[in-house]
């Protein structure tokens, strides 16, 4: 990222205090624009936030969010607001089988003191993985080799069909592709476009060991973003909380936007709606008629939500010393040991978060049934849980967690330029080249900020460069 600090009289209003809105607002404020970030709630974070759960009297995240080393724009945003020091990094993934508790560790390997060159850095542990049969490993290797070849961006093939065509074994599908890819993209295999699956595999497993590192916040998510409000304040900008936006009108005479909120009207020269796709659809209906609005509405209509559910469990004793784990062959997919990942919490007993991705059936369960299933399955992986007392529990269902990435979805992802004058779009669902992730949200914010700068004749670069492939992957295109 490069930008020179100047002071601009041009004001900007950013709607939405999620990652997209915060990254756009902070980039523009750093470049010298006076920015007002309008957030309808009393805290920042959007779908990646935390709150005090009244049922358990604990501050919990609405869902465990992770970043990877390849998430260059999210890392850049965290660095800008001073949050990067609150990220804990891990290089390995532990898979656990139910019943036996047998463990498989995936991640980079070394040959003595030397790191193996990418993409060979993950090969030794994959070859030694107990969770996969020899046939599974051959199938996964065959698919990885196919993903090294260029992928037509306009292919209409879904991942399930592609895996069948590449002779993937049931074990490879269930324990790798369905678990890892469905978790990363939060959708069923037949609802995932192959280019997005290829991107995830390349970034997390092939391009470099650094790209596949996993980062987790050591503080609640809303606390992680406190630095964004301070960053804006120190640069003459501000966050306006509890400012639910009702409409936006364009004042042609003054070349300004008038944004009506519940607390009054905010005026600005430029407008950046940084909203989820369904919220953008509602706002668009309350904005002026313009050429291209119908096309944008049609694009928004093509998007679909996928849920992420989590069970938060507090036990009276230590259940495991693992920080996180992949849980095989059950509805639960991931375990995060929040008591260890967030050391500021009291360490008496255990606080675990169990995650279920892309599961509408789990989202339909009652609270009691969801907790019962979570505890029952947890005991299959960690016998210590059977003798522990469950002190309290909470279930969080983020039914609009991500947007789907089926074949053809790129045609429904608009760029930053909107149908309206001096208005630029942000949001993870816009055209960023990334699936529904916090990285996509951060990228969209930086792209929108660059578009604002271009509109006044200022060339500023906020978009962080991709992490370059290393080792042998440097010659793969």
Q: Please report, for the domain that includes residue 121, its CATH number.
A: 1.10.3110
The per-residue pLDDT for 280 is 98
The per-residue pLDDT for 152 is 82
The per-residue pLDDT for 180 is 84
Asked if 184 and 235 sit in the same domain, the reply is no
Residue 203 C-beta-side C-alpha neighbours within 13 Å:
21
Asked if 225 and 172 sit in the same domain, the reply is no
Count of domains in the chain? Answer: 3
Instruction: Say if residues 97 and 171 touch (Cβ distance below 8 Å).
Output: no
Which of 211, 245, 275 is the last residue in one of the domains? Answer: 211
Instruction: Say if residues 21 and 14 touch (Cβ distance below 8 Å).
Output: yes
Asked if 325 and 380 sit in the same domain, the reply is yes
User: Could you tell me if residue 243 is inside a domain?
Assistant: yes
User: Could you tell me if residue 474 is inside a domain?
Assistant: no
Find the helix packing angle between 293-301 and 277-284, rounded to 10°.
150
Asked if 296 and 414 sit in the same domain, the reply is yes
User: Could you tell me if residue 177 is inside a domain?
Assistant: yes
Asked if 126 and 194 sit in the same domain, the reply is yes
The per-residue pLDDT for 423 is 98
The C-alpha atoms of residue 268 and residue 266 are separated, in whole angstroms, by 7
Domain holding 226: CATH number?
3.50.50.60
Q: Which residue has the tokens 């210590």?
A: 384
Asked if 239 and 113 sit in the same domain, the reply is no
User: Could you tell me if residue 477 is inside a domain?
Assistant: no
Asked if 282 and 343 sit in the same domain, the reply is no
Q: Which residue has the tokens 């979805």?
A: 409
Asked if 360 and 388 sit in the same domain, the reply is yes
Asked if 197 and 243 sit in the same domain, the reply is no
Which of 153, 183, 211 is the last residue in one of the domains? Answer: 211
DSSP secondary structure code for residue 150 in this structure: -
Domain of residue 348 covers 305-403
The per-residue pLDDT for 14 is 98
User: Could you tell me if residue 58 is inside a domain?
Assistant: no
Asked if 276 and 419 sit in the same domain, the reply is yes
The per-residue pLDDT for 7 is 61
User: Could you tell me if residue 468 is inside a domain?
Assistant: no
Instruction: Say if residues 29 and 237 touch (Cβ distance below 8 Å).
Output: yes
Instruction: Say if residues 475 and 118 touch (Cβ distance below 8 Å).
Output: no
Which of 211, 246, 270 is the last residue in one of the domains? Answer: 211
Angle at 101 (CA atoms; ends 99, 106), nearest 5 degrees? 135
As a 3-state breakdown, the chain gives helix, strand, coil percent values, each rounded to 5, of 35, 25, 40
User: Could you tell me if residue 59 is inside a domain?
Assistant: no
At 298, list the tokens.
């049609």
User: Could you tell me if residue 367 is inside a domain?
Assistant: yes
The per-residue pLDDT for 345 is 83
Helix (H) or strand (E) holding 400: strand 390-403
Asked if 296 and 439 sit in the same domain, the reply is yes
Domain holding 393: CATH number?
3.90.660.10
Angle at 459 (CA atoms; ends 457, 463), nearest 5 degrees? 135
Helix (H) or strand (E) holding 448: helix 438-455
Asked if 267 and 287 sit in the same domain, the reply is yes
Tens of pLDDT along the chain (477 residues) come to: 444 445 668 999 999 999 999 999 999 999 999 999 999 999 999 988 999 999 999 999 988 899 999 999 999 999 999 999 999 999 999 999 999 999 999 999 887 777 889 999 999 999 999 999 999 999 999 999 999 888 887 789 999 999 999 999 999 999 999 988 878 899 999 999 999 999 999 999 999 999 999 999 999 998 999 999 999 999 999 999 999 999 999 999 999 999 999 989 999 999 999 999 999 999 999 999 999 999 999 999 999 999 999 999 999 999 999 999 999 999 999 999 999 999 888 768 999 999 998 888 999 999 999 999 999 999 999 999 999 999 999 999 988 889 999 999 999 999 999 999 999 999 999 999 999 999 999 999 999 999 999 999 988 999 999 999 999 999 987
């Amino acid at each position: 990222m490069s930008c020179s600090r100047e002071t601009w009289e041009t004001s900007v209003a950013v709607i939405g205090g999620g990652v997209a809105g915060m990254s756009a607002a902070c980039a523009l404020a750093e470049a010298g624009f006076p920015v007002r970030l309008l957030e309808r709630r009393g805290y920042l974070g959007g779908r990646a936030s935390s709150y005090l759960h009244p049922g358990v009297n604990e501050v919990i995240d609405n869902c465990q969010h992770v970043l990877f080393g390849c998430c260059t724009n999210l890392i850049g945003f965290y660095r800008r607001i001073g949050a990067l020091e609150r990220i804990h990094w891990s290089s390995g993934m532990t898979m656990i089988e139910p019943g036996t508790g047998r463990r498989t560790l995936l991640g980079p390997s070394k040959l003595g003191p030397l790191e193996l060159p990418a993409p060979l850095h993950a090969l030794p542990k994959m070859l030694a993985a107990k969770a996969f049969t020899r046939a599974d490993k051959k199938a996964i290797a065959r698919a990885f080799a196919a993903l090294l070849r260029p992928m037509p961006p306009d292919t209409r093939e879904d991942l399930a069909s592609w895996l069948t065509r590449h002779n993937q074994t049931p074990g490879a599908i269930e324990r790798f592709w369905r678990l890892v890819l469905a978790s990363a993209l939060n959708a069923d295999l037949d609802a995932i476009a192959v280019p997005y699956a290829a991107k995830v595999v390349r970034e997390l497993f092939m391009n470099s060991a650094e790209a596949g590192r996993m980062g987790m916040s050591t503080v609640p998510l809303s606390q992680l973003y406190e630095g964004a409000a301070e960053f804006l304040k120190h640069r003459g900008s501000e966050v306006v909380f509890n400012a639910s936006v009702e409409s936006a009108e364009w004042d042609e005479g003054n070349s300004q936007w008038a944004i009506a909120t519940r607390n009054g009207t905010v005026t600005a020269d430029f407008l950046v709606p940084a909203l989820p796709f369904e919220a953008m659809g509602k706002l668009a209906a309350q904005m002026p008629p313009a050429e291209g609005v119908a096309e944008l509405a049609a694009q928004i209509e093509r998007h679909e939500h996928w849920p992420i559910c989590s069970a938060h469990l507090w036990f009276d004793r230590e259940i495991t010393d693992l920080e996180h784990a992949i849980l095989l062959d059950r509805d639960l997919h991931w375990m995060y040991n929040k008591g260890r990942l967030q050391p500021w919490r009291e360490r008496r007993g255990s606080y675990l978060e169990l995650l279920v991705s892309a599961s509408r059936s789990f989202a339909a369960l009652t609270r009691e049934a969801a907790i019962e299933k979570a505890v029952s399955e947890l005991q299959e992986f960690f016998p210590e849980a059977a003798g522990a007392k469950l002190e309290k529990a909470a279930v969080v269902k983020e039914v609009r967690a991500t947007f789907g990435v089926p074949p053809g979805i790129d045609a429904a992802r608009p760029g930053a330029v909107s149908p309206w004058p001096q208005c630029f779009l942000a949001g993870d669902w816009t055209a960023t080249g990334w699936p529904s992730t916090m990285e996509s949200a951060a990228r969209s914010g930086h792209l929108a900020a660059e578009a604002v700068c271009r509109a006044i004749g200022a060339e500023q670069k906020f978009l962080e460069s991709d992490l370059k492939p290393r080792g042998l992957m440097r010659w793969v295109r």
